[in-house]
Amino acid sequence: MPRENGEGFDAVVVGGGIQGLTFALEAGRQGRRVLLLEAGAFGGGSTAASYGIVHGGFRYWQSMDLPRLIRSRLEQAWFLRHFPGLVRPLRCVMPFYGHERSKPGLFATAAVLDRLGSALARNAAPELPVPRLLRRAEVLETAPWLSGDGVRGGGCWHDVEIADYPGLLAALVAQARAAGAVLIDNMAVRRVLPDPRGGVGGVEAADAASGESRRFEAPVVVNCAGAGLDAVARGAHAAAPRFFQPVPAFNLHLEAAATLGAAFAVGRGKRLFVRPSAEGIFAGTFYGARDVNGWVGALDTAAPGLGLGSARVLRVVEGVVPQGREALEPASRDVILDHGASGGPRGLFSVSGVKLTTARWLSARAIGRIWGGGAARVSRPAGALVDAKA
């Protein structure tokens, strides 16, 4: 049983998705005693609705974001090392069409730079083949359904997919507990408790089964509540900056006649991503209103040979992601928010990540900001809002 009423917790973590679980894991490994409370099942919110790709960062060559690529590669390798059988390599193909004359050259340049990035990341993922150009015949060998679609060749790279979501979540929970964290599911946090000195004193939560109210005391509360980030923050700090504006997002499981031999980025102009699944084809991620028919039509236009226009929709997996600079645009940066530095209670922090891949990296960065690299006192950055890309 967890120890309540201030008996030894350094922090209470609100939310048991990938961000909260990795925070509990890393804090425990650094000797902090952490209590994590999840309102439902571990990983049952936006984490479970994820498209399931552990990105290695190959796409970041488009913006020449080398630091982000390197940390994505390192974190992808961490997943491969620690969860064998639960994650696995995924071959990805981008067809090149006749009008895309510059695409092969750009891809070849990115492939060369990617090898440099792998070296800078200390060969973090030697298990994955290097990106390379494909001849038209090689593309059609994997995807004969592209034969009438004007394909002139393609590019191939490897990412990592989650093969067993329940198994991965169970492994993360087990590792966090082994590191000393106390994790309780079906325990919904109702409010953050103040202390008399202007800081936080812990949280009040309710047992989902019995409705019983319980208090857990700690000098630090870390808000990793995903879609509930704003609700938790504003319950404790009325003037909290609204950094989490939810954008609806969903993925589609489709039954289709064609069999995918790899994941594909298909379409002219804006690319749409499809990958094989046990049920048929997994497509996504789509943002905005739940326009399933509209996106199925867009997929059919992007890859007419797959016949997705008549495919049966088996499941719609829905969630939310943080909003970026524009409405219905997903966020492109991670956030660590120190509420004590913006007029809120000292010891309250909110952490919001944009990629499953780098959740552990963001957790480690937040731990460093909260405890100053292991010091007992809480270290508060000068600015309230921290772009964790820095």
What pLDDT score was predicted for residue 377? 31
CB-count burial class (<10 Å; 0-12, 13-18, 19+) for 359: buried
Note the pLDDT tens digit of each residue in 80-105: 989 999 999 999 999 998 777 778 88
Note the pLDDT tens digit of each residue in 251-289: 999 998 778 889 999 988 789 999 998 889 999 889 888
Q: pLDDT band for position 388 (50/70/90)?
A: very low
Contact 218, 12 (CB under 8 A): yes
Share of the chain above pLDDT 90, in %: 51
What pLDDT score was predicted for residue 124? 53
H or E stretch at 293: helix 292-302
CATH of region 11-47+166-244+331-387: 3.50.50.60
CB-count burial class (<10 Å; 0-12, 13-18, 19+) for 184: middle
Rg of the chain over Cα atoms, rounded to whole angstroms, equals 22
Q: What distance in Å separates the CA atoms of residue 265 and residue 157, rounded to the nearest whole number?
A: 11
Average pLDDT, whole number, for the chain?
85
Q: pLDDT band for position 117 (50/70/90)?
A: low
Q: What distance in Å separates the CA atoms of residue 33 and residue 36, rounded to the nearest whole number?
A: 10
Q: How many CB atoms lie within 10 A of CB 246?
A: 16
- Give backbone dihedrals phi and psi of 149, rounded to 5 degrees, phi first: -110, 15
Q: How many CB atoms lie within 10 A of CB 174?
A: 12
Could you give the 3-state DSSP secondary structure of residue 25? helix
Residue 217 CB partners (closer than 8 Å, separation 6+)? 4, 5, 6, 7, 9, 193, 201, 202
Q: How many helices (H) and strands (E) does the chain have?
A: 8, 19
Per-residue pLDDT, averaged over 115-120, amounts to 69
User: Read out DSSP for 232-292?
Assistant: HHHHH-TT------EEEEEEEEEE-SS--SSEEEESSSS-EEEEEETTEEEEEEEESS--H
Phi/psi region, residue 203 (left: phi>0; alpha: psi -120 to 50; beta: rest), is: beta
Higher pLDDT, 327 or 198: 198
Bridge partners of residue 54, in order along the sequence: 160
Note the pLDDT tens digit of each residue in 15-68: 999 999 999 999 999 999 999 999 999 998 878 788 889 988 887 777 777 788
